[in-house]
Amino acid sequence: MPLSLRKIACIGAGYVGGPTMAVIADRCPDIDVTVLDLNAERIAAWNSADLPVYEPGLAAVVSRARGRNLRFVGQTEGAAYVAAADAVFISVNTPTKTEGEGAGKASDLRYVESCARFIAAHATGHTIVIEKSTMPVRAADCVKSILATARPGVTFDILSNPEFLAEGTAIRDLELPDRVLIGGERPESIAALAEIYRRWVPAERILSTGLWSAELSKLVANAFLAQRVSSINSISALCEVTGADVEEVAAVVGADSRIGPKFLRASVGFGGSCFQKDLLSLIYISESYGLTEVAAYWQQVVDLNQWQKRRFADLIAAPIADGAGSLRGRRIAILGFAFKKDTNDVRETPAMDVCRRLLARGATLAVHDYRVTPESVRSEFAAQGVEVAATPEAALAGADGVAVLTEWSAYATLDWARLAGRLKVGAVIHDGRNILDAGAVRRAGLILRSIGRGAQPNA
C-alpha cells in the first residue's frame, strides 16, 4: 500500500524549519504539522505576532496555518508529536566545528545526532526521517546508526531533502522552487514525500536521487553559487585598477545563456550562515578522501571572499587614516548590517568583518540597519566604539566616511542633496553593493567609490 504522510513533525524552528513547515501547512491543510525546538524563546516568538525570523510574506503564511494545522511547541511537549508522526524532518543547525577533529572546517553534527537520539527514543511504528539540514555526504549513515538503537519493532527509513531557499526570498523560493530534491533508497518513501510537494510543485521539478547524491548536491549547489560571487569579486578589483566597470562586465558576461546573469553582483563579499560553512565542509570532505587539489580549488573561493572583505575595509580607511594608518578620532557610518537585504540575519555578515577591521584601527562606527535589532548589532561587538543609529540620517551625522554594506532598497533612494551637509567635508561614500544613484551622490558634491568601478572624473 502506498505510504501517506498525514502527520509530520519538524525538529528545529529556525530560518529553514519555521518557513518550510509554514508553507507545507499552508499548502496542505489536511496534513498536521508540528514544529519543535529546544529554544523556548524562539517557540514563544513563533506563537506571537512578532515572528523570530523576518521574511517578506512569512507572517501571512503563518497566520493562515497556525492554530489550524500548524503548531510550534517546546521539546518536552514535542515528544508526543514525534511519537505520532509519520515523518520527522531534522532541520537543526549544522555549523562549522569549533573543536575536535576537523575543527574550523568539518560540519558539527552534534545537533543532528541529538535529534536522531530524540527520534529513536520517542518514535513509534514506522517513521520516515528526513534530513532537511545541510549535511556532509554520507552523514545519513551516522543518523541510521543512532536510529538503530530504537526499541524493537520501531522502524525507520531515511531521506535527504535538502533545502535550497535563500533568505529574504524564502517564501517565494518555497512556493515556486526551481527544484525539490529527494534522495533516498526506497521508492515508496521518496514517493510519499514527493506527494506532499506535488500539491504545489510541478512533478518535473521534483528530482529524486540516491542519498549520497542528494547530500552532496546541496553542498555543491552552494559552492557553485559562492564561486560565482568570488569570481565576479575578483574581477571587481581588476575593474577598479583598469577603469572598467564591473556592472558592465557582468552584464556582458551574463548575457551568454551558457553563463546566465544571476549571482554576478560584485559586493563587499558573500556572507550568511551557509556559503562559507558549506564550502569548508566540501573542502574537509575532499581532504579526507585525499583529494588535495579539489580541496585547494574550493579553498580559493573562501580565501578570495576573505580578501575582498579586507580589501573593502582598507579602501574605506585609506582616505581618512593618519600617517601611521590609525583611524582614531574618525567616525564611519555603516549603512546596513544584515548579510543581505530583506532579512534580519547577521550570521557571517560581511559587515561584521569590515567593522572589526575598522575598529581594530581605532575608528568609531555608527551602524544603521532596517531590520537588524540594536541588541543584535551590539551583541556582535565586544569592543567599544559602536553606536547603533535609528536612521541613516543619524548614522551619517559627522561621519568622515560612509560604507554601504547591505543592499537595502531604501538606501538606493536616499536624498543625498539633503544629507550631504551632515557629513564632514571631504567624506567619501563607499558603495559596497553598487546600489546608490551615482549621479545623485556626485551632484550633491560628494565623492563616491563604488565596488568594481574605476575612478570617476570627479573622484
Q: Which residues bind ligand NAD (CB under 6 A)?
A: 11-17, 37-39, 42, 75, 91-94, 111, 114-115, 133-134, 163, 165, 167, 273-274
User: CB of residue 386 vs ligand UGA: minimum separation in angstroms?
Assistant: 21
Q: Which of 72, 270, 411, 416 binds ligand UGA (CB under 6 A)?
A: 270
| Positive or negative: CA dihedral 323, 327, 333, 337 | positive
The partner in contact with residue 13, picked from ligand UGA, ligand NAD, none with C-beta cut-offs of 5 to 8 angstroms by kind, is ligand NAD
- Amino acid at position 349, single letter: T
**Residue closer to ligand UGA (CB basis): 82 or 268:** 268
The partner in contact with residue 222, picked from ligand UGA, ligand NAD, none with C-beta cut-offs of 5 to 8 angstroms by kind, is ligand UGA
How do the residues of the chain divide into helix, strand and coil, expressed in percent and rounded to 5?
45, 15, 40
Separation CA 198–CA 192 (nearest Å): 10
DSSP structure string for 149-173: TSPTT-EEEEEE------TTSHHHH
Active site residue: 10, 239, 274, 355, which one? 274
Closest by CA position to 352, among listed 327, 323, 382, 394: 382
Q: Which of 121, 207, 220, 225 binds ligand UGA (CB under 6 A)?
A: 225
The partner in contact with residue 12, picked from ligand UGA, ligand NAD, none with C-beta cut-offs of 5 to 8 angstroms by kind, is ligand NAD
Q: Which of 55, 86, 157, 167 binds ligand UGA (CB under 6 A)?
A: 167
Q: Which of 97, 309, 340, 357 binds ligand UGA (CB under 6 A)?
A: 340
Q: For residue 189, what is its C-alpha cell?
A: 518513501
157: contact with ligand UGA by CB under 6 A: no
Neighbours of 150 (CB within 10 A): 19
User: CB of residue 225 vs ligand UGA: minimum separation in angstroms?
Assistant: 5
The partner in contact with residue 189, picked from ligand UGA, ligand NAD, none with C-beta cut-offs of 5 to 8 angstroms by kind, is none
272: contact with ligand UGA by CB under 6 A: yes
DSSP structure string for 422-452: GSPTT-EEEESSS-S-HHHHHHTT-EEEETT
User: CB of residue 420 vs ligand NAD: minimum separation in angstroms?
Assistant: 37
- Amino acid at position 449, single letter: R
The partner in contact with residue 92, picked from ligand UGA, ligand NAD, none with C-beta cut-offs of 5 to 8 angstroms by kind, is ligand NAD
Separation CA 428–CA 280 (nearest Å): 35
- Amino acid at position 226, single letter: A
Considering only residues 417 to 456 of the shown chain, the ones binding ligand UGA according to CB under 6 A are: none
User: CB of residue 320 vs ligand UGA: minimum separation in angstroms?
Assistant: 25
339: contact with ligand UGA by CB under 6 A: yes
Residue 3's contacts (CB-CB under 8 Å, 6 or more residues apart) are: 86, 128, 188, 189, 191, 192
Q: Which of 69, 134, 161, 344 binds ligand UGA (CB under 6 A)?
A: 134
Instruction: Please say if 274 is a catalytic residue.
Output: yes
The partner in contact with residue 14, picked from ligand UGA, ligand NAD, none with C-beta cut-offs of 5 to 8 angstroms by kind, is ligand NAD
The partner in contact with residue 271, picked from ligand UGA, ligand NAD, none with C-beta cut-offs of 5 to 8 angstroms by kind, is ligand UGA
Residue 322's contacts (CB-CB under 8 Å, 6 or more residues apart) are: 328
Helices 110-122 and 75-84 meet at what angle, rounded to 10?
A: 60
Question: At 196, which helix (H) or strand (E)?
Answer: helix 187-197
User: CB of residue 13 vs ligand UGA: minimum separation in angstroms?
Assistant: 16
User: CB of residue 183 vs ligand NAD: minimum separation in angstroms?
Assistant: 15
Separation CA 345–CA 235 (nearest Å): 27
Closest residue to ligand NAD, based on beta-carbon distance? 14
Q: For residue 306, what is its C-alpha cell?
A: 576573505
166: contact with ligand UGA by CB under 6 A: yes
What does residue 398 show for φ and ψ, rounded to 5 degrees? 70, 15
Q: List residues binding ligand UGA (CB under 6 A).
A: 134, 163-167, 222, 225, 229, 263-265, 267, 270-272, 274-275, 339-340
What are the catalytic residues?
Answer: 274
